[in-house]
Structure 1
Amino acid sequence: MSDLADRVAARRSYSRVTADAPSHEELLPLVAAAGRVADHSALHPWRLIELRGEARMRLGAAFVKAAGVSGEEADKLAAKPLRSSLLIAIVSVRTKSDKVPGWEQDAVASGVAHVLSLLLHDAGWGVMWRSGHQTRSKAVHRMHGLADNERLLGWLYVGGVPEDSREGHRKTVDAARFLSVLD
């Protein structure tokens, strides 16, 4: 196996990360590399939004508003975006196209997010892609300033890898189970 394949096979999600995070300047070359995913008609149907500091608190407030909860439940929901000092929102930007359907444009945005998560992991950062029903909430869409043709696919939670991380690696996929040959 190649060095790249070994590094990709070592990728894992970190549900807990430290407060360290890459700077905007450190992210730029990684985003440029991630933007090289296959992209039918070169529509570039994606964008990323960095959320740091106060923006994470506004996201928590949008979660609470969308859920319509209060008290302890609201506090717990509002704290979710504070699990990492950097969140990167993954946005699919759908463009009208006779050649490229919406699902394919969403797939490009997902590809960018996944490649970016691999690059961040390879650079030594802990990453977890989080999604859920909040991505479809009007309050959360407004908080991100999304246009009508944009869909929020989730957030990469990015931070330092904890020294005492006890989370194990995923088991290797049985490739023969998922790869067939058409005769």
Structure 2
Amino acid sequence: MNERPVRTAPALAALRDRRSHSKVTDEAPNHAELAELLSVMSSIADHSGLRPWRIIELRGDARLRFGEGLAAAAGEKREKYRSKATRAPLVLAIVVSPRLNHKVPVWEQEAVASGVAHALGLLLHEAGWGVIWRTGPLTRSEPVHAAHELGANEYLLGWLYVGGIPDRDRKHKPRSPLDPARHLSAL
């Protein structure tokens, strides 16, 4: 059997170098930059090409409505949750918009939306932006659903918080590679 060597490719480098940035600066990609990154999402594996997802772009005061939804869902800890929405200048809500289809179950459509979120995070990182994917116990609460004006059949997977990378985070130690023996098997 002729084995091919593993080549270093941009996608490999993007995955190797990606890291979450919980603190970001006030800079963020503009709408046109974001639209360009989203335009390539047609390459995400998507059984029957349903595109069962959408992204809601939250900037400025739009983040405050998101924060109010979190606060309403949180009850007693309102202030703590209200401020979570403004931790980054750009918050991208990842929405699953399932399509009724007898061939493609909802869990598979959710996997497509997850793939879009992960790929978008990688592309944003590769473009020089700090990104972290956030979720939490309130993600699928009714007040948060209403704050995002989601359709009756839609639900959130979480949010990508996006901003500039602080200088202190620009030089980071690479992660240790994963041990493939723990996660790869053959039959």
**Pair 59,79 (structure 1): closer, same or farther in 2 beyond 3 Å:** same
Size of the alignment, in residue pairs? 179
Corresponding residue for residue 63 of structure 1: 70
Is the aligned partner of 1:141 residue 2:145? yes
**RMSD between aligned alpha carbons?**
1.3
Q: Distance in 2 between matches of 1:68 and 1:168?
A: 40
Q: Are residues 1:38 and 2:42 paired?
A: no
TM-fit CA distance, 1:134 = 1.5
After TM superposition, the score normalised by the length of structure 1 is 0.93
Residue 178 of structure 1 corresponds to which residue in structure 2?
A: 183
Deviant stretches of 4+, over 6 Å: none
Query: Within 1, Cα distance between the matches of 2:87 and 2:135?
Result: 14
How far apart, CA to CA, are the structure 2 residues paired with 1:35 and 1:84? 27
Q: Is the 8 A contact 2:97 2:154 kept in 1?
A: yes
State the percentage of identical aligned residues: 51
Residue-by-residue CA offset, 1:152-181 (whole Å, 9 max, x unaligned): 000000000000127654432112211111
Residue 116 (structure 2) pairs with residue 115 (structure 1): no
Contact 1:129–1:156 (Cα < 8 Å) also in 2: yes
Measure, in 1, the Cα distance between the counterparts of 2:49 and 2:62.
31
For structure 2, the residue ranges without an aligned partner over 5 or more in a row are 1-6
Aligned residue number for residue 99 of structure 1: 103
Helix, strand or coil at the partner of 1:152? strand
Change (3 A) 1:6 1:167: closer
For 2:80 and 2:57, how far apart are their aligned partners in 1? Answer: 22
* Structure 1: gaps spanning 5 or more residues: none
